[in-house]
Every structure is written in C-alpha cells, then in structure tokens.
Structure 1
Amino acid sequence: MNSTTWILLIVFIVVDVWIISFFIFKRSIRKQNSQLVPKGSKPRRGKIPELPPIIKAGSPASELVGRLEAALPDTYQSMLKQRVMSEHPDMSEQEYEWRWQELKRFFIMCAVLDRVPMFSKDVDEVWHEMLMYTYEYQQFSDRFLGRMLHHAPNTGTEHVPIPNERAWFDTVYVQLFGWHEYSAKLWGAFFRVPLPREELDLCTSPHFAVNHGQKRFNAWTYEKIPSARMAIDAIIRDLQDRVRTAQTEPRRQEKRVNFQNSDVLLAAAVYFAWNAPDQFTENMIPDERELHKNNSSSSCTYASACGSGGSDSHDGSSNDGSSGGGSSCSSCGGGCSS
C-alpha cells in the first residue's frame, strides 16, 4: 500500500477509536449520575402516593380487568419488573407499580377504543421492555384481545398535535378509572381540549352503531369479546345521557371543576365541549380546594393540571413535559392498534 492509503487507514482507525471511546465515556457518566440518585428517589416526582385500585367503583370495565389479569401470567409480570428495574436503576418499586398499572389501564382502553395514542413516555418505557419478551407478549395479546396488540413506534410524528384523540382518551379514561393527580403527572394534563362536537352528534344519533360506519370504538372487540362490548355500551350510554343533559342545562357559573369527583368532572367536560368549546380550556380548571381536601400535605405536587390548568395551549400541542411526567405533548403520541 502507498503512503496515502496508510494515512487514510490510520485516520479511519483513530476516528473509530474516538467514537467508541466517546460512547463508553457517555455510558459511564450516565451510570455514575444514576448512582448519585439514591434508589427509590426521584426528586422531580415528589412523594409518590399510594396506588389506587385499577378501576374506579362502579366502572363498566370490571370484567375487562379480569380478562386482562388472566392474560398476564405472574412469571411474565415478574420478568418484566426485574428487567425494567434493572434498566432503570433510579426507579423505585412504587414508581414502577404506578407505571405498570397505567400501562394495564392503557391496554384496557385499547380494547374499548379503535386507536389509543401513547401519551406518556414513562408508561411507554415499560411497554417497550414488555415487547422484548416476544413470545410472552404474543401470548398475552392473543389471550386478551384475540389478536396482536401492536405498538406504534415513536418516529418523531408523536409531536404532531392530535387533540381529538387526546379528548377521547381523557373522557374514556375517567369513565373507567377516575382521575388522580399522579396519573395526570404520568399522562399529562387532562381535559385541555374538548370532544369534537360532530362526534358527539354522531354518538347521540339514533342510527349510531359500533359495528357499522364509525371509527372511534373498537368494532373488533365489540364483536368478539363480551366484556369489551359491555364496557363500550356503558360508555356510549353514559355519554349520550351527558350530551342530552348538556343540551338543556342552564349556563354554568362555577369557575372551577372538582377533578376528584368523576361524575362532576365528566359532566363539566361534556357540557363545555357541547356549549362552549372555544372556552373549554379556561373552564376546565381543577378546583384546588377539592384537591387539598384529599391531599392536604400536597400543593399540586403531581398534577400538571393543577393551578391554571397546566401550561398546555388550547390545541394541546404543549405540556409540562420538562418535569419528566407525561409526554412533552399532551395531545401527541405513538400508540396501539389491534
């Protein structure tokens, strides 16, 4: 080889060595930083509250929860927890249990809605680790839905606002599980955007049918899984009742909404979506007095929906994601399709 070839070879070797050294150094720094934070300590979250039941009292998803739990063997859950805790040494067990429960709630919503974006980076991290067990995940999907529950990869398009999807996510989530400050921290602020009026019109139409001509609810599970059909029918009936009430209800005067009371919260969300969608965001502000009744030691420690309702703009294209809670865009996300 001539001298030019030798020089090029040496340059390539030096560059390769530099790149490898850079990544080794970067990984070691990351590891050192994680060790500086005591295990179980995550200052950005504050004190993690006690985990509530997976569904609220009277939820129409009770049988669907049983189906989900039956589809998740203890061995699979144990392997997943061990893997996540190993990959994220700064995560406490309590934090893991919250994320895992929120992921299970997400799966339940996938059985109800036709498409469910993943609005939480924290919850999505657990889902990614779950997918690493390919065979076990396939078995879980088959047992729970009867077909594969696909994970839509985050490719950058998750930052495109999808406010209608987020509005449906919030509504169905609260109908099934209720609202909690810490859930709002993981998912981002709730009820920043209204349900679209045209879809509310469609749902209340006498000709509305889940298995014909609509693309919001999961027609597959509605036909194949009785527990999913039960939950979907209950959600639709509840929504229809709330729309009818909103159509005749006098103008609301209160300036704050009790997020702790699911019935009050959903009634307000449907009322303002129907009657004042342009003022939806400023009307759907949590009543901090009610929050403090249930958590007197906290001053909005967890909820990105606290105070002025979060930093989200009306179109939901931004959220207080810098705290590491929900997605950096409360109306954006990858998600599932089945």
Structure 2
Amino acid sequence: MNTSIWILIICFILVDLWIIALFVFKRSLRNINSQRLPKENKPRRGKTPDLPPIVKAGSPASELAGRLEAALPYTYQNMLKQRVMSEHPDMSEPEYEWRWQELKRFFILCAVLDRVPMFSKDVDEVWHEMLMYTYEYQQFSERFLGRMLHHAPNTGSEHVPIPNERAWFDTVYVQLFGWHEYSTKLWGAFFRVPLPREELKDYGSGHFAVNHGQKRFNAWTYESMPAARTAIDAVIHDLQDRIRAAEAEEPRNRKLVNFRNSDVLLAAAVYYAWNAPEQFSDHMIPDERELYKSGSSSSCTAASACGSGGGSDSGSGSSCSSGSSCGSSCGGGCSS
C-alpha cells in the first residue's frame, strides 16, 4: 500500500476523532449549563398533590370510613391496584391512589344517600376493575353495606347530568370530605347547580324523618348501620341549621364563597340555593375564579345501595336518568 493511501486513511481517522471529541464537548457543556440554570427556570412536570385523609377532621362519616376500610382486605386492595396499573400503564401511582380514594368516598356516599350517580369516568374505571374480582367484591359489599352494591358504567356523556342529584352529591361530599382542586379534576366542577328549593322546604320544616316517605337518604343503612345513621343525622341537622340561617339572613349582593373553607362554602351554597337559585352558578365562584374542568367527569350512572327504592325527582335536561341502568339490592331498582 503506497504512502498516499496511508495518509488518506490517517486523515479520515483524525476527522472522526475530531467529530467525536466535539460532540462530547458540546454535550458536557450543555449539562454544565443546565445545572447552572436557576431552579425556578427549569421546566417543571405536573405533580399529583398529596392525598388528604379520606374524611375531613371531625367528619360525621369517620365511623363509616373505618367500617369501609375494615371491609377491604389488604390482599383485595393490592390485587386491584396491580390490575389497574397493568391495564393503564400510563397511570402514575399517585393518580391511582387519588382515584381509589375517590371511589371509596363514593361508597361512603352510597351509605348516606339513596341514589349516588357515578359522575366520574376516571373513578368508574377503577370500580370496573374492582368488579372483575366477583367474589371479593360481593364480600366487600356485604361487609360494608349489608347488601350488594350494583354497578352501572359511566355513560361518557358531555352533558350536565341530573342536576338535582349532582347538587346533593356536591353538598354531602363537601360536608363529609371537604373540597380539593384535584377532586374537581376527577368529578368535575362542584356547585354548578343548586339544591332544589322544594326539597329544602321539606328538610327545613322540622317534620322531616328519614323513614317517612322520603327518597333522598338511604333508609336501609339508616336502620341497619349505626355508623350510617350518625352520618345521615349529622348531614340533615347541618342542612336544617343552614336553611334556617338562609331564611333569617337578609339577601345581599354578594355572600362570601370560600372553597378552602367547607363551612363557609356550604353556607353559601345553601344560602344561594334558597335565596337566588336562578343566579346560583354566578354567585358560587371559587377562589381561583375557575374550577378544573374534565370532559371525562361530566356524565353519570347511578348505584342503588339498597335504599328506599324510590325514583328520581331530578329536573329534566340531563343526558341520563338515575335509574337508567341500575339495580337495587332490595329488588326495587331505580326508576327515573
């Protein structure tokens, strides 16, 4: 091989080495610069907030929450988590924990209210996977509620569903669990519709009784579960106090609405439902001026947890009815 060929080969090798050295140098320089960036200028990833307690401090549902946890064996919870994470590989563990806790809150609401629509597609995904373990789910239902809690899937509709049921969901949810921005990500915006004034009149009359023809609270659990009776009585008494305050208070242009304070929030919700239901959503503006909006959390189905078996008295204009596809463990079912 002659000298010119060797020179050419050596030149190619030197050029390759120079390109490699330049690449390594630029990469090192970029890493150094990124480390020198001020912390606040570094890109941030969305973080799922820490999970709060399942019920707020002093909640009348504390005993119900304990009963719920006792009805859920660790092995069942672990199997469910593994299944959901496997079926949804893009879901983070904190996101799963939030969905699971919101589902447990939904079950607690089923022990308090006669009809509880499933307003969240995200939460319903966990419920659906939970049902795959048929025997374990039945055992859980019987240990917690004393009867089978039947499932009807979320419809996925974009329309605002059964407004009266949503108003009760919001009111009882906040009283038992409090309010959190991340809850709105899963359930949709809270307090967009008022409690029906006609129902408020019934509960505020002083003659209301859970077992005398009412169709709002769960009469089955009220009679069979002391923990549920405690929670239901507290919800009703609190509501009656707020109705009396709303009646006595002079109407004002603007009542304080604070989504960070459950007591203030509920007082405003009952006040505007009683005094200004037509402008309810205009008055119930959160601190942040807007709530999270989730297209996956706007539709509904309903579960009947062996309640009184009565039908819905909700308003029209919904995309589904509380009894569109749900069965009752008492055999009465849910009817619209």
Is the Cα contact below 8 Å between 1:170 and 1:190 reproduced in 2? yes
Per-residue deviation, 1:62? 0.6
Structure 1 counterpart of 2:294, which letter? G
Secondary structure of 2:89's aligned partner: coil
Identity of aligned residues (%): 80
Per-residue deviation, 1:156? 6.8
Q: In the aligned structure 1, how far is the partner of 2:63 from the partner of 2:164?
A: 27
Is the Cα contact below 8 Å between 1:284 and 1:309 reproduced in 2? no
1:129-168 equivalence runs, <5 A: 129-154=129-154, 159=159, 161-168=161-168
Q: In the aligned structure 2, how far is the partner of 1:204 from the partner of 1:236?
A: 9
Is the Cα contact below 8 Å between 1:210 and 1:219 reproduced in 2? yes
Structure 2 equivalent of residue 199 of structure 1: 199
Q: Per-residue displacement from partner, 1:304-338 (whole Å, max 9, x unpaired)? A: xxx2456xxxxxxxxx334xxx52x2xx4013112
Structure 2 equivalent of residue 335 of structure 1: 302
1:122-133 equivalence runs, <5 A: 122-133=122-133
Secondary structure of 1:250's aligned partner: coil
Secondary structure of 1:151's aligned partner: coil
Q: Structure 2 regions of 5+ residues with no counterpart? A: 1-44, 306-336
Q: In the aligned structure 2, how far is the partner of 1:275 from the partner of 1:152?
A: 35
Q: 1:191 to 1:337 in 2, by over 3 A?
A: same
Q: Per-residue displacement from partner, 1:17-55 (whole Å, max 9, x unpaired)? A: xxxxxxxxxxxxxxxxxxxxxxxxxxxx93210000111
Structure 2 counterpart of 1:333, which letter? C
What's the C-alpha RMSD, in Å, of the aligned pairs?
Answer: 1.7
Structure 1 equivalent of residue 94 of structure 2: 94
1:51-66 equivalence runs, <5 A: 51-66=51-66
1:1-338 equivalence runs, <5 A: 46-154=46-154, 159=159, 161-254=161-254, 257-288=257-288, 307-308=289-290, 320-322=293-295, 326-327=296-297, 329=298, 332-338=299-305
Q: In the aligned structure 1, how far is the partner of 2:84 from the partner of 2:291?
A: 32
Is the Cα contact below 8 Å between 2:56 and 2:177 reproduced in 1? yes
Q: In the aligned structure 1, how far is the partner of 2:122 from the partner of 2:239?
A: 30
Structure 2 counterpart of 1:275, which letter? N
Q: In the aligned structure 1, how far is the partner of 2:201 from the partner of 2:191?
A: 19
Secondary structure of 2:112's aligned partner: coil
Larger Cα-atom Rg = 2
Structure 2 equivalent of residue 23 of structure 1: none
Secondary structure of 2:117's aligned partner: strand
Per-residue deviation, 1:154? 3.9
Aligned positions, number: 261
Secondary structure of 1:259's aligned partner: coil
Structure 2 counterpart of 1:321, which letter? S
Q: In the aligned structure 1, how far is the partner of 2:291 from the partner of 2:54?
A: 25
Structure 2 equivalent of residue 29 of structure 1: none
TM-score computed with the length of structure 2 as normaliser: 0.75
Q: In the aligned structure 2, how far is the partner of 1:230 from the partner of 1:336?
A: 21
Secondary structure of 1:137's aligned partner: helix
Is the Cα contact below 8 Å between 2:124 and 2:153 reproduced in 1? no
Is the Cα contact below 8 Å between 1:159 and 1:333 reproduced in 2? no
Is the Cα contact below 8 Å between 2:120 and 2:154 reproduced in 1? no
Secondary structure of 2:107's aligned partner: helix
Q: 1:334 to 1:131 in 2, by over 3 A?
A: same
Per-residue deviation, 1:175? 0.4
Q: Per-residue displacement from partner, 1:262-312 (whole Å, max 9, x unpaired)? A: 000000000000000001000000123xxxxxxxxxxxxxxxxxx2456xx
Structure 1 equivalent of residue 16 of structure 2: none
Is the Cα contact below 8 Å between 1:109 and 1:116 reproduced in 2? yes
Is the Cα contact below 8 Å between 1:119 and 1:187 reproduced in 2? yes
